[in-house]
Structure 1
Amino acid sequence: MSGTPTFAVASSFMGLPRSDRSAAFALAGIPLDIGVTNRTGARSGPAAVRAASRMLTDGDHPHFWIDPTRLDIADIGDFTIALGDLAASYRLIEEQAEGLDHLLAVGGEHGITLPLLRALRRKVGAPLGLVHFDAHVDTWPDNFGQVYGHGSPFYHAIEEGLVDPRRMIQIGIRSPVQREVWDWTVGKGVTILSAQDVHALGPAAVAERVRKVVGSGATYFSYDVDCLDPAFAPGTGTPEFAGILPWQSQAILRSLAGIDFVGMDVVEVAPAYDVSEITSLAAATVIWDYLGLVGSAKTA
């Protein structure tokens, strides 16, 4: 083993030296958490995920056999937000996402996905498919009387035509939810796989279901760490009992070759509630696996 010791890796994601927006892959932190409904703290997620990512710099990805740091990739820092103003923050996020080739966003709360989808929808020119890992459907029409928040990004995304609900699949769902919200979501055509479904079906069958649902069009990947069982991801604002396991999550993602992913986010890491960086490392590893998946496709 040679090079920089793990503990001394630079503070960017995986120690990336580049910070220009022209890279084929641009990683950005979005430290927004003013739309959460339970515990705050996801604003500190980007820094924690970057710190944990040092564990992923010691060699090639052992499944895809590429070194993600050797891709055309940059860590462009954190997006600017409007302090205390959710709608203005969404506008700023959307503006800063414009012009990026392939964005990897680190939240922050799940509400950041809505402005990212708005920007990407204009770029792609058609509604996107969506692969969504979460404990929550996030299709509530409001958040305790507020229009926006981390429980409603996909309600707005469907209503605004940003995503095609018939090409949308949610994985790991298990939280309490009003029956009318569930029925509205399913009625729009969304496929929902609960955590129990994942346990019963197994990763290979889930991955095959994902491919059938999203098809061949441009697709977005959104990963809320609370999809994982809180035993393995305690550092999050809305933990839910009996989630999917890290190995299941990883096996599903690694099996999604052939899907046309055009952007992604990992959200809801709240490091104040974490234990020994395990949640931050889980989030960093999801990005690492995603880069292995899409990067190996580009270099094939």
Structure 2
Amino acid sequence: MSLAKARTAVDRAFAEDDPRGLAYENAFGGATSFLRRKYTKDLSGFDLAVTGVPFDQAVTHRPGTRFGPRAIREASSLQPFDPPIYWDGFDPLSEFAIADYGDLAFDYANVAGVPDLLQDHIKGILDRNCSAITLGGDHFITLPILKAYAEKYGPMSVIQFDAHSDLWPDDDMSRIDHGTMMYKAVKLGVIDVSCSIQIGIRTVCDDYLGMPFIDARTVHEKGCGWVTEEVKRRVGDHPTYITFDIDALDPAYAPGTGTPVWGGLHSWQAAAMLRDLAGINMVGGDCVEVSPPYDTTGATAIAGAHVAMELCCLNLWNKRTA
């Protein structure tokens, strides 16, 4: 498609038959599908599905992440006509088919029913030979997602970017809490701590259950290259899930989140580390805790959109080199 013709295209999220290629629509108009990809529930011929989970009933303090998926999608409309250059000239939007699978539908008043709905939602994507990149929502959503992944791959390697370990003890598996989801994931055996790691931690937990972590200060002092080499050594070629809590970033770069903690990662550090993880066996991921009401600038949603794009690229790079 010529550039001139492309600029007259209307809502490729609905009208474009070929899911591959860049998008040249006005960023300020049209449908806000993720990266202007096609909205569809039919994943035939697609490599990756992006889906949203607008759930924030598990937060400790400030709600608002239910608006995260919509804000991330809107922010992503700035990217698909000017994608960054990836490894070896990799153009993920042209080489692979990415679908916007829409959001998980749930009854907001039936909170207890959400975990099973979400697990089945992700399982439905995986059963169609697609990977899933999920837009949150609060961090609790990672637990049902990991359960779906563990059904397919066994106990997962997890790379968690976060200010908090989310390993606070909670043996009531029916409780829905974004601060205890990793504790439950370990106890339920859906992740393997021997090949998992956390990055950016700057809060204290009494018992890390064998989960190693690299705190934010260590990232600052030892550098991104050292961190990614350590992470790659840790996860090896094990099927890996990346969960990125936006509060891993310092509040200067991502103020729109429920539990901001100063001293965090700079946006360039997150970008460098995600990019340098190319080659790991990354089979899925999420970006969570984007809470637009606490950021009138939109910077947090922009950061979330970039994180989600990098997660897509890590997954598709793995498919490209398989």
Which TM-score applies when normalising by structure 1? 0.92
The structure 1 segments of at least 4 consecutive aligned residues displaced by more than 6 Å after TM superposition are 143-146
CA drift of 1:107 comes to 0.4
Aligned to 1:165: 193
CA drift of 1:69 comes to 3.0
Please identify, of 140-149 and 194-203, the stretch whose mean Cα deviation from structure 2 is larger: 140-149
CA drift of 1:296 comes to 3.0
SS at match of 1:262: strand
Q: Find the structure with the greater CA-based Rg.
A: 2
Which TM-score applies when normalising by structure 2? 0.86
Aligned to 1:98: 123
Please identify, of 6-15 and 193-202, the stretch whose mean Cα deviation from structure 2 is larger: 6-15
SS at match of 1:39: coil
Aligned to 1:27: 50
Matched-pair contact (CA < 8 Å) for 1:59–1:67? no
Matched-pair contact (CA < 8 Å) for 1:133–1:171? yes
From 101, 105, 113, give the equivalent of 1:80. 105
CA drift of 1:283 comes to 0.6
Q: Deviations along 1:232-290, whole A, 9 cap, x unmatched?
A: 10010110111110000110010012211111000000000113211001010011122
Structure 1 letter corresponding to 2:109:
G
Structure 2 letter corresponding to 1:84:
A
CA drift of 1:168 comes to 1.2
Matched-pair contact (CA < 8 Å) for 1:32–1:43? yes
Aligned to 2:254: 233
Aligned to 2:168: 140
Matched-pair contact (CA < 8 Å) for 1:142–1:149? no
SS at match of 1:162: coil
Q: Deviations along 1:143-175, whole A, 9 cap, x unmatched?
A: 999832100111010001100011111001012
Structure 2 letter corresponding to 1:73:
I
Structure 1 letter corresponding to 2:285:
M
Structure 2 letter corresponding to 1:38:
H
* 1:36 is the counterpart of 2:59: yes
Q: Deviations along 1:63-100, whole A, 9 cap, x unmatched?
A: 33344333221001100223134331111101111131
Structure 1 letter corresponding to 2:92:
P
* 1:129 is the counterpart of 2:150: no
* 1:108 is the counterpart of 2:129: no
From 215, 222, 227, give the equivalent of 2:236. 215
- Separation of aligned partners in 2, 1:270 and 1:144: 27
Please identify, of 245-254 and 64-73, the stretch whose mean Cα deviation from structure 2 is larger: 64-73
Question: Where does the alignment leave 5 or more consecutive residues of structure 1 unmatched?
Answer: none
SS at match of 2:220: helix
From 266, 270, 274, give the equivalent of 1:253. 274
Q: Deviations along 1:173-203, whole A, 9 cap, x unmatched?
A: 012x34x2xxx21xx3211111101101111
- Separation of aligned partners in 1, 2:171 and 2:177: 6
CA RMSD of aligned residues (A): 1.9
CA drift of 1:9 comes to 4.7
Q: 1:145 to 1:97 in 2, by over 3 A?
A: closer
Aligned to 1:174: 202
Q: 1:21 to 1:61 in 2, by over 3 A?
A: farther
- Separation of aligned partners in 2, 1:294 and 1:96: 19
Aligned to 2:75: 52
The share of aligned pairs that are identical, in percent, is 38
Question: Where does the alignment leave 5 or more consecutive residues of structure 2 unmatched?
Answer: 8-24
SS at match of 1:56: coil
* 1:69 is the counterpart of 2:93: yes
From 243, 252, 266, give the equivalent of 2:264. 243
Matched-pair contact (CA < 8 Å) for 2:147–2:190? yes
